[in-house]
Amino acid sequence: MRDLIRRILDWVDHRTGFETAVKNFLYEDIPASSGWHQVFGSVALFLFFVQAFTGVLLAFNYAPQPGDAYHSLQYIVNQITGGRLIRGLHHWGSSLMVVVVGLHMIQVALWGAYKKPREATWILGVLLLLLVLAFGLTGYLLPWDNRAYWATVVTIQIAGLAPLFGEYLVEFLGGTEGVGVSTFTRFYTLHVLMLPALTVLVMMLHIHLVRKHGVTPSPRAIGKPKKKFYPGQAFKDLMAFFAVFILLFVLAATVDVPLERLADPSDSTYVPRPEWYFLFLFQMLKFFEGRWEVVGAVILPTLAVLALLAVPFLDRAKVKRIQQRTLAFAVVGVVLAGWLALTVAADLTTPEPVASARETSPGAADWRLLTPVELAGRAYFRREKCADCHNLAEGEPKMGPTLATVSQRKPTEWLMAHFGNPSEAVPGSPRPATTLSDEDLNGLAAFVLKLTPTNAAALEAVPPYAMRAAVIYQESQCGACHVVNGSGEESGPPLNGVGQRRTAEWLEEHFRDPQKFDPQSVMPPYDFPTGDMKAMVAYMQALPPELQ
């Protein structure tokens, strides 16, 4: 058996050279000084494979279109086995990639591993850093939630600031008409086709050069007998993969990646923030006003990249032991401190989301304080099965946005349009058109507008009798003569407190025959069926006494 396998392997190796190539790769000579500090490059490669793997998986269930993108991602996260985990791995993997690439660069910088003849390796490495950042920038738009949308609006604006070619850059990114389908498609294509291909190419060149020049030895290791990559260093690399992988897995499994509500270009209260590794750039923009803006947005970042590229040519001193590279430590330290200061400043100055201008009355946490119109809206909410897609308060995530947080920022006209033709107001919305009359829709809108994060849970728990009664109240147009909670005409007596003034029997009898109690009454008789009558009487009794 063993013999047969050997013969098959030999046959394959003879024709493809595969086994020899693998052996060459594994038994590469590395300097005696190699160790744990040289694992970061391999870890970055490992993370690249994780990103490619999870990215392809996401693409299997992802619709690359604005609107649909959001819904398909919701489907991935909420419906598909392991979908939340896979998205988490991809999301946190990108952050870890930035961290690992940063550590890799710092290690190379501290040890001076970019020195002759490894300048080209360093330059390709800087290119790879830029590619990683480009991945982050383009991938940020793909969930098509509010965060994605608004961050990309800012990105496109910044791209437009670039002197000479800003206009072309914006056109290339599909942002001429603002962030929309063109932008989305361009970003998607960059993210899943162009950047991966480019990255693989540059990565191969980078690795080729690493092998061509060999791993950088420390000065003391020169002349000492070399080690083999396998299994000692391979073991160290793999342990580093494992550590990073465990961290990644735990993050993906325990920290939910936010999927905010569907991108809403009309939302003026949204506070867009870039991903954490771009916060320093974001913060820098605050220091440059007016015509100087281009300095912070374009010129300084460009200079920084050029400086990075020039590092091997600026530092041409002889190779020294790491302990003697004080200047390198100082420079890396200053850069890191600057980066950290800007990032922390950006984080500290992030304002809380702007509270809605349309605050609801503080007492509205109780359904008894809703007007009949609003309460009927709650009934329509149930009847139209709005809860199939929307949560009132926070809860198990659903397809549509949670209404307590979204409704405060929408004008009535928008809501009405959304009820009537959802896909017009929100591109890609799967909600079927409603059959409610305009009047009923008004009630629904009135109710939705009443929702706040604090009262949503209370308003979700409206008892069925109250909803039933409110609909009857609306249909019977009681509000044409009566006031409830400040809403309605005053020609008849106000109904707040009527439950304290009258008994249930009186109320029921009065509905059936008002003139029996007051011959002058102009109220028509309402001979409701038993169930309706019970609901109406209970509703009347539940109404709070006169409002102050």
Amino acid at residue number 255: V
Structure-token match 């383009």, residue found? 138
Residue 234 binds other proteins (CB under 8 A): yes
| Cβ distance to other proteins smaller for residue 184 or 280 | 184
Residue 231 binds other proteins (CB under 8 A): yes
Q: How far is the CB of 427 from other proteins (least distance, A)?
A: 13
| Cβ distance to other proteins smaller for residue 63 or 436 | 63
Residue 430 binds other proteins (CB under 8 A): yes
Q: Which stretch binds other proteins (CB under 8 A): 119-127, 227-235, 309-317, 346-354?
A: 227-235
List Cα–Cα distances, 378 to 193, 386, 393, 426, in angstroms: 47, 10, 13, 22
Interface pick for other proteins out of 3, 60, 289, 505 (rule CB under 8 A): 60
Q: Which stretch binds other proteins (CB under 8 A): 64-72, 161-169, 197-205, 325-333?
A: 64-72
CA–CA separation, 287 vs 283, rounded Å?
Answer: 8
84 sits in which H/E element: helix 83-111
| Cβ distance to other proteins smaller for residue 241 or 282 | 241
Q: Give the tokens for residue 109.
A: 């910088």
Which residues, other chains included, contact 475 with Cβ-Cβ below 8 Å and sequence gap of 6+?
none
Structure-token match 């962030």, residue found? 179
Interface pick for other proteins out of 241, 367, 419, 447 (rule CB under 8 A): 241
Residue 249 binds other proteins (CB under 8 A): yes
Residue 395 binds other proteins (CB under 8 A): no
Interface pick for other proteins out of 16, 79, 266, 515 (rule CB under 8 A): 79
Provide the greatest CA pair distance for the chain.
Answer: 117
Interface pick for other proteins out of 50, 203, 471, 536 (rule CB under 8 A): 50
| Cβ distance to other proteins smaller for residue 78 or 487 | 78
Residue 235 binds other proteins (CB under 8 A): yes
List Cα–Cα distances, 101 to 128, 131, 442, in angstroms: 9, 11, 55
Q: How far is the CB of 259 from other proteins (least distance, A)?
A: 13
CA–CA separation, 337 vs 350, rounded Å?
Answer: 20
Interface pick for other proteins out of 71, 104, 115, 147 (rule CB under 8 A): 71
| Cβ distance to other proteins smaller for residue 232 or 531 | 232
Q: How far is the CB of 307 from other proteins (least distance, A)?
A: 37
Q: How far is the CB of 237 from other proteins (least distance, A)?
A: 9
CA–CA separation, 421 vs 432, rounded Å?
Answer: 8
Residue 82 binds other proteins (CB under 8 A): yes
SS3 category, 155: helix
- Indicate if the alpha-carbon torsion angle 45, 48, 52, 58 is positive or negative: positive
Residue 224 binds other proteins (CB under 8 A): no
Q: How far is the CB of 390 from other proteins (least distance, A)?
A: 14
| Cβ distance to other proteins smaller for residue 261 or 378 | 261
Torsion angles phi and psi, residue 262, rounded to 5: -50, 140
Residue 238 binds other proteins (CB under 8 A): yes
Residues in the chain: 548
Residue 288 binds other proteins (CB under 8 A): no
Q: How far is the CB of 230 from other proteins (least distance, A)?
A: 8
- Indicate if the alpha-carbon torsion angle 370, 374, 377, 381 is positive or negative: negative
Q: How far is the CB of 101 from other proteins (least distance, A)?
A: 20
| Cβ distance to other proteins smaller for residue 73 or 379 | 73
| Cβ distance to other proteins smaller for residue 101 or 240 | 240
Which residues, other chains included, contact 193 with Cβ-Cβ below 8 Å and sequence gap of 6+?
none
CA–CA separation, 226 vs 122, rounded Å?
Answer: 23
CA–CA separation, 141 vs 150, rounded Å?
Answer: 9
Interface pick for other proteins out of 13, 28, 68, 267 (rule CB under 8 A): 68
CA–CA separation, 307 vs 314, rounded Å?
Answer: 9
- 288 and 295 Cβ atoms separated by less than 8 Å: yes
Interface pick for other proteins out of 83, 139, 143, 443 (rule CB under 8 A): 83
- 373 and 442 Cβ atoms separated by less than 8 Å: yes
Residue 228 binds other proteins (CB under 8 A): yes
30 sits in which H/E element: strand 29-30
**Closest to 374 in 3D by CA, of 447, 286, 291:** 447
Chain residues that interact with other proteins, rule: CB under 8 A: 50, 53-54, 57, 60-61, 63, 68, 71-72, 74-75, 79-83, 85-86, 89, 228, 231-232, 234-235, 238-239, 241-242, 245, 249, 399, 430, 432
